[in-house]
Amino acid sequence: MRILYTDVLVIGGGLAGLRAAVGARRRGHDVIILSLVPAKRSHSAAAQGGMQASLGNTAKGEGDNEDVHFEDTVRGSDWGCDQAVARLFVHAAPQAVRELAAWGVPWNRVRAGEREVVMDGRRVTLSERPEAHGLIAARDFGGTKKWRTCYVSDGTGHAMLYAVSDKAVAEGIPVHERMEAIALIHEGGRCHGAVVRNLVTGELVAYVAKATCIATGGFGRIYRVTSNAVINEGIGAAIALETGAACLGNMEAVQFHPTTIFPAGILVTEGCRGDGGLLKDAAGHRFMPDYEPEKKELASRDVVSRRMEEHIRAGHGVKSRFGEHLWLDITLLGAAHIDGRLREVKEICRHFLGIDPARDFIPVRPAQHYSMGGIRTDARGEAHGLAGLFACGEAACWDLHGFNRLGGNSVAETVVAGMIVGENMADFVESPAGELQVSTALVREFLAAEQAKLDTLLQGNGSESATDIRRRMQDIMTDKVGIFRRGDLLTEAVDELQALLQRSRRIGVATRRPGSNPELVAAYRVQKMLKLALCVAYGALQRTESRGAHYREDHPRRDDANWLKRTLAGWSDPFQTLPSLAYEALDVRHMELPPGWRGYGARDAIEHPATAPRAAEIAAIREAFGHADRAIVQQALMPYEHLVPLRFRGHNARLGDAW
């Protein structure tokens, strides 16, 4: 029995995990990162368009601040997010961008003077201020009032991941590559680390830690059509669920990105539309203004994806041998712009489609893209129900995004949550609660239990095929738990997924060799992925309203009166075939921004009885405080500063600040 001890165990080597690890390390604690792949191969690298932070350096970003970013984020979430977390996030985001600048990210910079851009299909001249020359630039993205998305061409995630990964090397943090956590070690509501499988040798090792952090990203691969990398199978979220102590939040909140190339599902950035690209149909008609006169192509992703599918259903899709799609037209941006700002898009178009996006339209259709749901944590990033377990980034339901995440807010969340959770883990490790009290007998028990499960797959004479089960799961999710959802289809999906889960207990693995065994890996992962799929499908079936990315054709209105709450999915009995659902109310009486119209999309929400009184209360507070300091008004509206780790408190300076 091999046991490794560390202060902090971080599971996942993407941006969130790396940044959390650096934070804890800088506070003097030993940290080990586990990663399925070399850290720089993590899916963070695929984030293209940029990261939102209200620096306000560009002409179109002037006047931006935390307040505007906060409101955009809450509206984007369709009032499903935790508003205190959103406040915490928008406060720390400018610091995160500036920290990354110091760590070497070559952010695109403002060039003073006039420049031509494309907005709403027309060429427009913007004039950048001389005093902003050389400061960090921003581009437009969907669902935002200001140009706020800081970027590095369209390789933003890559540049960020390399800077933070190299920072982790500089800090001497070991990354144990090709290591997969397959169970959490826990007892009495306290997490003690993880059982980890070496993907090269097949050996099981126990990593025992004072604090454990899951930062394994999303679970897009439960769908057939997804922009996600092949490693985004949600195993981190699944092992948290399997503890029976932690729970998953809002798993039915799944984002579909409007523009993935058809049919491969590879992402082309929202920056294409932010920079002026248009969506067109089979007739070459620009259709988004017909549906969304306010924000057009730059409404939030849930709205644009739905409108696109609606337009295809209305018979305006482009027919191809693989099915129907629409066009993304960025030809109007010009070759020079594409070569400089959209070069990954150009490479993807050339290699996968054989086209030049400066001359040809790009075939696109929405595909699964992002998991708003994940391990439910508090604002400090600690999991509900399991002390010593933290989560951050896409793996977590922190809950910044509610039912729809804004473009540019996820890669921002990775580093911001990493900054915050890194500090909070360090605090935890230094507190009495962080003391390690774990017996090796318990560790042995967990190791033995996991080995027994693997042995059953290898020697249990099971006859089911993991590949078949996995493919069927992915089909069900894409066909029945997609953009448009209906009670009858969701019921079918839940029934079929339960049957698959039962079949998955009888999977047999033919490859019996020691060491690397992709067949065995596929087998134990699909057992876990099915539980996630059931959390998504069953949560979606129960939620009889439409909110953000969760759209029920049979319940098309947002229902604040009954559904202003977060779904919590638990799995306490390993033999149950459905998650146990509970709900956590979002309290309108404490919201800084009570529910209303988002500024795009539907206007027919069913109001919560507390909304009008809270709106009146907020108006009264604003009236009473008049021109008082912003921080004082904030304290009266919705305090959040107590959630900000000490080192990140203070005022984010901007160009032209009066102070």
- Binders of other proteins in range 210-229 (CB under 8 A): 229
Task: Return the DSSP state at 527.
Answer: H
Least distance in angstroms from the C-beta of 40 to other proteins: 6
- Using the rule CB under 8 A, which residue among 86, 88, 138, 159 binds other proteins? 159
Contacts of 452 (CB under 8 A, 6+ apart): none
Tell me: does residue 40 bind other proteins (CB under 8 A).
Answer: yes
Task: Return the DSSP state at 152.
Answer: S
Complex with other proteins: residue 121 or 508, whichever CB lies closer: 508
Binding mask 575-614 for other proteins (x = CB under 8 A): ----------------------------------------
In 102-187, beta strands by DSSP E: 113-119, 122-128, 149-150, 175-177, 179-187
Tell me: does residue 110 bind other proteins (CB under 8 A).
Answer: yes
Tell me: does residue 103 bind other proteins (CB under 8 A).
Answer: yes
Residue spans of alpha helices (H) in 284-371: 288-291, 301-311, 335-341, 343-348
- Binders of other proteins in range 173-192 (CB under 8 A): 175, 177-178
Least distance in angstroms from the C-beta of 92 to other proteins: 9
- Of residues 331, 398, 390, 332, the one with CA closest to residue 85: 398
Tell me: does residue 46 bind other proteins (CB under 8 A).
Answer: yes
Complex with other proteins: residue 278 or 523, whichever CB lies closer: 523
- Binders of other proteins in range 261-300 (CB under 8 A): 263-264, 266-267
Q: Per residue in 457-489, is it b (16+ CB within 10 Å) or e — as a string?
A: bbeeebebbbeebbebbbebbbebbbbebbeeb
Known catalytic residue at 43: no
Tell me: does residue 198 bind other proteins (CB under 8 A).
Answer: no
Torsional class of 91: left (φ above 0), alpha (ψ -120 to 50), beta (otherwise): alpha
Q: Per residue in 232-246, is it b (16+ CB within 10 Å) or e — as a string?
A: bbbbbbbbbbbbbbb
- Using the rule CB under 8 A, which residue among 28, 38, 63, 189 binds other proteins? 38
Extract the tokens encoding 180. Answer: 């997969």
- Using the rule CB under 8 A, which residue among 4, 30, 41, 187 binds other proteins? 41
- Of residues 523, 542, 464, 530, the one with CA closest to residue 497: 530
**Which range binds other proteins by CB under 8 A, 97-105, 138-146, 296-304, 403-411?**
97-105
Q: Evaluate whether 19 touches 92 at the Cβ level (below 8 Å).
A: no
**Which range binds other proteins by CB under 8 A, 260-268, 441-449, 545-553, 623-631?**
260-268
* Marked catalytic residue, from 27, 186, 221, 273: 273
Tell me: does residue 557 bind other proteins (CB under 8 A).
Answer: no
Tell me: does residue 107 bind other proteins (CB under 8 A).
Answer: yes
Helix (H) or strand (E) holding 510: none
C-alpha distance from residue 478 to each of 106, 222, 474 (Å) = 38, 9, 6
Least distance in angstroms from the C-beta of 249 to other proteins: 27
Tell me: does residue 166 bind other proteins (CB under 8 A).
Answer: yes
- Binders of other proteins in range 496-525 (CB under 8 A): 509-511, 513-519, 522
- Binders of other proteins in range 520-549 (CB under 8 A): 522
Rounded to whole angstroms, the Cα distance separating 40 from 163 reads 10
Complex with other proteins: residue 349 or 383, whichever CB lies closer: 349
- Using the rule CB under 8 A, which residue among 4, 5, 30, 37 binds other proteins? 37
Complex with other proteins: residue 22 or 540, whichever CB lies closer: 22
Q: Are strands 248-249 and 565-570 parallel, antiparallel or unpaired?
A: antiparallel
Least distance in angstroms from the C-beta of 602 to other proteins: 33
C-alpha distance from residue 651 to each of 16, 90, 416, 631, 658 (Å) = 24, 12, 16, 10, 12
Question: How many other β-carbons are positioned within 10 Å of the β-carbon of residue 27?
Answer: 18
Rounded to whole angstroms, the Cα distance separating 591 from 82 reads 9
- Binders of other proteins in range 453-492 (CB under 8 A): 467, 471
Known catalytic residue at 273: yes
Complex with other proteins: residue 80 or 94, whichever CB lies closer: 94
Least distance in angstroms from the C-beta of 204 to other proteins: 16
- Of residues 19, 13, 23, the one with CA closest to residue 43: 13
Residue spans of alpha helices (H) in 312-439: 335-341, 343-348, 410-430
Least distance in angstroms from the C-beta of 149 to other proteins: 16
Complex with other proteins: residue 130 or 626, whichever CB lies closer: 130
Size of the site for other proteins (CB under 8 A): 81
624, burial (CB in 10 Å: exposed 0-12, middle 13-18, buried 19+):
exposed
Least distance in angstroms from the C-beta of 629 to other proteins: 17
Binding mask 126-155 for other proteins (x = CB under 8 A): -------xxxxx--------------xx-x
- Using the rule CB under 8 A, which residue among 1, 119, 124, 230 binds other proteins? 230
Q: Evaluate whether 375 touches 11 at the Cβ level (below 8 Å).
A: no
Rounded to whole angstroms, the Cα distance separating 213 from 194 reads 10
**Which range binds other proteins by CB under 8 A, 104-112, 375-383, 576-584, 600-608?**
104-112
Least distance in angstroms from the C-beta of 348 to other proteins: 6
Question: How many other β-carbons are positioned within 10 Å of the β-carbon of residue 511?
Answer: 11
First to last CA, the chain: 60
C-alpha distance from residue 260 to each of 43, 345, 362, 364, 400 (Å) = 16, 11, 9, 5, 24
In 227-352, beta strands by DSSP E: 248-249, 254-261, 278-280, 318-320, 323-329
- Binders of other proteins in range 620-659 (CB under 8 A): 648, 650-655
* Marked catalytic residue, from 158, 257, 376, 598: 257
Least distance in angstroms from the C-beta of 451 to other proteins: 18
Question: How many other β-carbons are positioned within 10 Å of the β-carbon of residue 3?
Answer: 15
Complex with other proteins: residue 191 or 267, whichever CB lies closer: 267
Complex with other proteins: residue 431 or 511, whichever CB lies closer: 511
Least distance in angstroms from the C-beta of 532 to other proteins: 19
- Of residues 612, 595, 611, the one with CA closest to residue 603: 595
- Binders of other proteins in range 296-325 (CB under 8 A): 321
Question: How many other β-carbons are positioned within 10 Å of the β-carbon of residue 288?
Answer: 23
- Using the rule CB under 8 A, which residue among 15, 215, 231, 429 binds other proteins? 231
Complex with other proteins: residue 6 or 269, whichever CB lies closer: 269
Complex with other proteins: residue 205 or 298, whichever CB lies closer: 205
Tell me: does residue 355 bind other proteins (CB under 8 A).
Answer: no
- Using the rule CB under 8 A, which residue among 323, 340, 574, 613 binds other proteins? 340
Rounded to whole angstroms, the Cα distance separating 150 from 137 reads 6
- Using the rule CB under 8 A, which residue among 8, 16, 45, 84 binds other proteins? 45
Complex with other proteins: residue 74 or 476, whichever CB lies closer: 476
Q: Which residues are catalytic?
A: 257, 273
